Chains A and B, each alone.
Chain A
Amino acid sequence: MARRYSIFRLVGEALRGHRRWEPAWRDPEPKPSYDVIVVGGGGHGLATAYYLAKNHGLRNVAVLEKGWIGSGNVGRNTTIIRSNYLLPGNIPFYEWSMQLWEGLEQDLNYNSMVSQRGVLNLFHSDSQRDAFVRRGNAMRLHGVDGEFLGRDDVRKLIPMADFDNARFPIRGGLLQRRGGTARHDAVAWGFARAADRLGVDILQNCEVVGIRRERGAVVGVDTTRGFIASRRVGLACAGNTSRVAALAGLRLPIESHVLQAFVSEGLKPLLPCVVTFGAGHFYISQSDKGGLVFGGSIDMYNSYAQRGNLPTVEEVCEEGVALFPCLSRVRVLRSWGGIMDMSMDGSPIIDRTPVDGLYLNAGWCYGGFKATPASGWCFAHLLATDQPYVAATAYRLDRFATGRLIDERGAGAQPNLH
């Protein structure tokens, strides 16, 4: 088992020439059966396994990953964490996630580089100001921090922005100081190592190709590494949820879409916080290495290809330069795409399914990274107790039939608009 990381350990290993570090997690062979199987070795699946072991004492748990852990969306996002939501079903959940982020590194004994540098949402018109004031008030009523900034306050934070843009002058912003960024890969690795230390088996290159059922209840999964028995199976494979759930005969209110993200060459410190452009869909922050990490909307069409098309690249870069003209000659180093579970109301699903023993964690649209700790916490609670955790009771699968939708955007059943 991997030993704890500490400054004393680091010094001790350094004196021995760094030759005795062990792998951060084991690479075990699959056992014939487990108490719980989590399908999907991304952030949410690994967090689920960790909290199953830590909060519920379930240590005979496996995480099944078709590739290598963290190869999906947990390594493809723009690393932003925040809890500036509006609707009652969402605020308690995302705030719970924010609180878990605040103690995550100590809990996991892993440096996930959680940085509460603030998230600033800019507004550009009177009506947008009113909407942001409403959002800020909703946050404060739920005990979440939110600050209204006027134009001059915003100018102190980001003086290089184009405040007098003829079409989209910056009028002010809504600032959540507790928001910020986290090192996305290190979140996956931290949860993986912490779960492994508690006895969870992380099985990589182990794709689920069938979900076996007897009398309507799950009895195990067929994988590329053989059959593995379990009477409780949780799906945490956003992006491919529809495909995996179809193995159990389920049809879901989800479409898969591609979202692109970008990173620039390294620059000296420029942006003190995460900034979002209110006149389009654009968000940007600066990594600790100095690269600008930014993104915009999804490409708008169904896709399972982990790459997008050039018009979206152009649009995102245009928005960036409209907001910060000083970026016009900065070079983009890389862009990449991830596959999003776009749900029909823009909110996630953490619920039982009509198949006994099969549980669903899905529909994260492109807001799943910030939810990672709470998603794992709530899904673990559901898997262990068969009851939803209090902060996630609104994320029901049947809400699309009953009308209890959680539609932050107000876009209706058109997933590419959320």
Chain B
Amino acid sequence: MLIPCPHCGPRTHEEFTYLGDATPRRPDPADPAVETAFFEYAYIRVNPAGPHRELWFHAAGCHAWLVVERDTRTHTITGAAPAGRTESSS
């Protein structure tokens, strides 16, 4: 798989480290349902068969965290963008 890194261009995925689903958001610790929220954040995954937004770290490149859009059925990568503040806190 080639990941189109916005800083380095298309690079093999061997240069990257995979973290996982980019959609879970770290809950607010002041949330009254904080236990359930953190349980879901840490453990529960939608695990879709199809398009997946996921976090990759360009360890052997620019050291940026990227949100990559990839189809889990075909491994086709449709885009990569720098992770924003909300994703990088996950």
Contact = CB atoms under 8 A, between A and B. Distances in A.
B88 interface: no
Interface stretch (B25-33, B47-55, B79-87): B47-55
A224 interface: no
Contacts of B43: 253, 344, 400-401, 413
B72 A413 contact: no
B45 A304 contact: no
Given A251-B44, A253-B45, A311-B13, A302 B74 contact: no
Interface residues of A, number: 24
A414 interface: yes
Contacts of A311: 12-14
B70 to A, nearest CB: 8
B18 A416 contact: yes
A241 B63 CA distance: 34
B72 to A, nearest CB: 5
Contacts of B21: 255, 302
B22 to A, nearest CB: 11
B77 to A, nearest CB: 11
Interface in A299-332: 300-305, 309, 311
Contacts of A400: 39, 42-43
Given A255-B20, A413-B43, A414-B20, A302 B13 contact: no
B45 A254 contact: yes
Interface in A201-258: 240, 242-243, 251-256
B42 A302 contact: no
Contact of B39 (A309, A401, A415, A416): A401
Interface in A388-418: 400-401, 413-416
A311 B75 CA distance: 14
- From DSSP, what is the main secondary structure of chain A's interface residues? mixed
Nearest to A405: B43
A300 B1 contact: no
B46 A242 contact: yes
Contacts of B19: 414
B13 to A, nearest CB: 7
Contacts of A252: 44-45, 47
Given A311-B13, A401-B39, A253 B72 contact: no
Interface in B34-77: 39-40, 42-47, 49, 52, 54, 70, 72-75
Nearest to A413: B42
B45 A309 contact: no
A305 B40 CA distance: 26
B8 to A, nearest CB: 17
A305 B74 CA distance: 6
Contacts of A415: 20
B61 to A, nearest CB: 15
Contacts of A256: 47, 49, 72
Nearest to B19: A414
Contacts of B45: 242, 251-255
Contact of A304 (B14, B40, B72): B72
A309 B20 contact: no
Nearest to B68: A301
Contact of A255 (B13, B39, B47, B70): B47
Interface string A131-157: 000000000000000000000000000
A302 B54 contact: yes
Interface in A347-391: none
Nearest to A398: B39
Nearest to A415: B20
A305 B75 CA distance: 7
Contacts of A300: 18
B18 to A, nearest CB: 5
B75 A303 contact: yes
Contacts of A303: 72, 75
10 nearest interchain CB pairs? A242-B47, A253-B43, A304-B49, A400-B43, A311-B14, A301-B18, A344-B43, A413-B42, A304-B72, A304-B73
13 contacts: A242-B45, A255-B47, A256-B49, A301-B13, A302-B21, A305-B75, A311-B12, A311-B13, A344-B43, A400-B43, A401-B39, A401-B43, A415-B20
Interface of B: 1, 12-14, 18-21, 39-40, 42-47, 49, 52, 54, 70, 72-75
Given A251-B45, A302-B47, A309-B75, 20 more contacts: A240-B49, A242-B47, A243-B49, A252-B45, A253-B45, A255-B20, A255-B21, A300-B18, A301-B54, A303-B72, A304-B49, A304-B72, A305-B72, A305-B73, A305-B74, A305-B75, A344-B43, A400-B39, A401-B39, A413-B42
